[in-house]
Structure formats: structure tokens, C-alpha cells
Amino acid sequence: MKIVYVVYGYTNPGGTERVLATKANYFAEKGHQVSIVSLKKETENPFFSFSPLISFYNLDIPTSDKKYKQVFIDKVTELFKQIQPDIALTMGFGLTIYLSEVKDKSKKIFEYHFSKYKRKFELAAFDKYAMGRFLTDMYSLKRNKVVRKYDCFVVLTDEDKQSWRNIPNIEVIANPRAFVPSNYSELTTKRAIAVGRHTYQKGFESLIDIWSDITTKYPDWKLVIFGSGKKKERLEKQIKSLGITGAVELLPPTQNVEEEYKNSSVYVMTSKYEGLPLVLMEAMSCGLPAVSYACKCGPGEIITDEEDGFLVKPGDKKAFIEKLSLLFENRELQKRMGQLAAENMQRYNVEDIMPLWIKLFEKLHSA
């Protein structure tokens, strides 16, 4: 089967890029003809490894601005005459949403790597009420029209599927974890870890505030945050102003993140919204108990509350500190949760998740 991903880019060290590499590599190694089409002209080597069996194409479109819609459609149409894909996928909103308007014989799939409300995550609270659902449906009207144009719209969690409600072509397929560790953290290092871009979404300002209180009570515990982004300087200033430069460290993205998880003892997440956070899945795979805000969507499906980690109401810093304190002061609880975390993450094995994609492709292709 000929499978094509049409994406904005594939070289960055983000979760979406990591998932793309995992899935594309799997399909290629199973004998499928896989291509990745990038909107922008890539000038750097990919952060994650891609199989040499995969073909890459760059459309060299300057931005994802809507004014390039027809340019995008024309270039993809011409390229698809060459590739002749059976399945074509896009992974998010932006210019690539117009993939559905490319007229060829391929089946089109929109796979979404965030949750419905994304930056407008506060709107999720309105879904509890009939009038609120009407208002949120009006807010999402344009996006609903976009995803209905595809042969299939794939989201990552049942929680997010419920938010989209009356989308007839919706399916749920979780992301697979990117690796299976051969051993786990011994949970002996007094170090908490977080991984993610320095952006509004990740809420690291909240995490640093929390650590300012943590370090007064547990001065021997350190926090490391791996990532990069536009807000790094602001986060550095915050750390300095709180006087915790010795307790919090901002480090660049690493290709050896598995070892960094294993050198830590707890994973912390203060995101404002997610899709299905791969870093949380990875950390727990390495035997780390986790404390996370229960944001939309993903943490509530990955963490089994009070079994392999703790879920905290978003923004409740006091409760977050209390859950961390429980882990810091109870070694047996930390070990038990870490062991269960490693066991529970097995449900995200590539061997269990990826056949769901193959089944979907075959169903669409034969329709």
C-alpha cells in the first residue's frame, strides 16, 4: 500500500514529529511504500530517526498562510500524480487541511494530535450544559466542516471523541509509545523531570512556581526541564527572580531522553491542554510515577489516578505540591506507583496500536 503523510515539517524535536517517525518507520518496515511531504523546505536533519526506506518531498511553500491554499493544492495534486498514493494523511490544522480538496483516488485521513478546544481549553466546561454545547458547537463549526470532508477523522482519546460529538467519520486510535525500555528507573535520584517546548501550552511557569514552594520543604530535590522555545528567556528570569537557580535547570532537547527519565524519580506535567502526551507515556514506561494536571485531553487516560500517578485539578498548585510531597516522603508508594506505571504503559506498545491503523487503511481502501 502507498501511504503519504502531508505535514508542515518533520525535523523538529516535538511529540508530533516523534509519532510521525514511529508510525512511518513501522509502515515502511512492514513493506508499505511510505512518503513524507513537507510544506516547508527543510534545511536541518530530522531530530528523530527515519527509515531509509521512506521517500521525502518538500513543497517549499513559504508559510502556512491560507493565501497559499491553491498553491498547496496544485503542488500536492502534481506530486500525487507521481506517487499515486492509496492513503494520504495530514496531522493538524493549517494549510494542510486542504488535503481533502486534492482530487485523486487516495483515501484522505485527518489525524489530530491535540484536543478539540486546544488553546480555548476553558470552553470544555460548557459541554456540561445544553446551551453550553450549542455555544461550543458554534465555536467549532468551521473545524467541524473541515474534518467532515475527510474519509476518516482520527483523534487520540475517547475523552476527545466525546467533545467532538456528532462527527460521523470519527475514530479513536491512541499514539504508540516510541520505545520499550529494557530496564527502569531505580527511583533513587532526587530529581523530577519534565519535557516539552517552552510555550504557553506546557504551563512551565506554573511548574516553576510550584517548585519554588517545593524547594523550601525539600531542598535536596531538583527539577530539570528538557526543551526549547520562545519562552525560555522568560522562564529563566522567573527562576532567577524566585531565587531557585540551584533547584531548577532548563536543558535543551536530548536524543537520549530515555536515560534522562531513568535518572529521575518522578515525572511532572502542568500543561494547559494536550492530545495524548507522549512524554508522559514515555516517562511512565521507564517506571516513573507521575503528577499531572488533569487537562484536556490525555493525562486522564494515561494515568490511573492514585494507582500509577496522581491527577490534579488544573491550576491547583496546592494540591500538586501535596501529591509530590506524598511521593517524596513515602518511598514504598513511589516504588509501587512506578512499577504499576511501567506495567500499565504496555497497552501503548507499537505491536498493539499500529495494527489498528492497518485495519483502518484496509477498510477505507476497500470501500
What's the CATH number of domain 2-176+349-366, 2.40.50.100, 1.10.10.60, 3.40.50.2000, 3.20.20.150?
A: 3.40.50.2000
Q: For residue 230, give the C-alpha cell.
A: 520562545
* H-assigned helices in the chain: 15-29, 69-83, 130-139, 141-148, 158-164, 204-217, 232-241, 257-262, 278-285, 299-302, 317-329, 331-344, 350-366
Name the amino acid, one letter, at 254.
Answer: T
Q: What is the DSSP letter of 156?
A: S
Per-residue pLDDT at 65: 76
Long-range contacts of 228-231, Cβ-Cβ distance < 8 Å, separation of 24 or more = 228/13, 228/197, 228/198, 228/252, 228/253, 229/197, 229/198, 229/199, 230/198, 230/199, 231/198, 231/199, 231/200, 231/204
Q: What per-residue confidence (pLDDT) applies to 148?
A: 95
109: Cα separation from own chain's centroid: 18
Q: Which CATH number, 3.40.50.2000, 3.40.50.300, 3.40.50.2300, 2.40.110.10, labels domain 191-347?
A: 3.40.50.2000
The Cα-based distances of 84 to 1, 197, 297 in angstroms read: 10, 36, 35
Question: CATH 3.40.50.2000 residue ranges in the chain?
Answer: 2-176+349-366, 191-347
**Residue with cell string 531542598:** 219
To 10 degrees, what angle do helices 278-285 and 15-29 make?
70
Provide the residue-wise pLDDT of the chain in tens; the chain has 367 residues: 999 999 999 999 989 999 999 999 999 999 999 999 999 888 889 999 999 999 999 999 987 778 899 999 999 999 999 999 999 999 988 889 999 999 999 999 999 998 776 555 555 555 555 555 556 665 567 888 999 999 999 999 999 998 888 899 999 999 999 999 999 999 999 999 999 999 999 999 999 999 999 999 999 999 999 999 999 999 999 999 999 999 999 999 999 999 999 999 999 999 999 999 999 999 999 999 999 999 999 999 999 999 999 999 999 999 999 999 999 999 999 999 999 999 999 999 999 999 999 999 999 999 8
Q: Are strands 152-155 and 107-111 parallel, antiparallel or unpaired?
A: parallel
Task: Match 519562552 to its residue by C-alpha cell.
Answer: 231
pLDDT the model gives residue 93: 84
- Position 230 scores a pLDDT of 92
Q: What pLDDT sits at residue 172?
A: 97
Predicted model pTM: 0.90
Tell me the three cell numbers of residue 130: 445544553
Find, among 234, 174, 184, the residue nearest to 334 by Cα.
Answer: 184
Q: How high is the pLDDT of residue 164?
A: 87
Q: Which three cell numbers stand for residue 330?
A: 513515602
Q: Does residue 287 come out as left (phi exceeding 0), alpha (psi in the -120 to 50 range) or beta?
A: left
Name 143's bridge partners: none
pLDDT of 66 reads 80
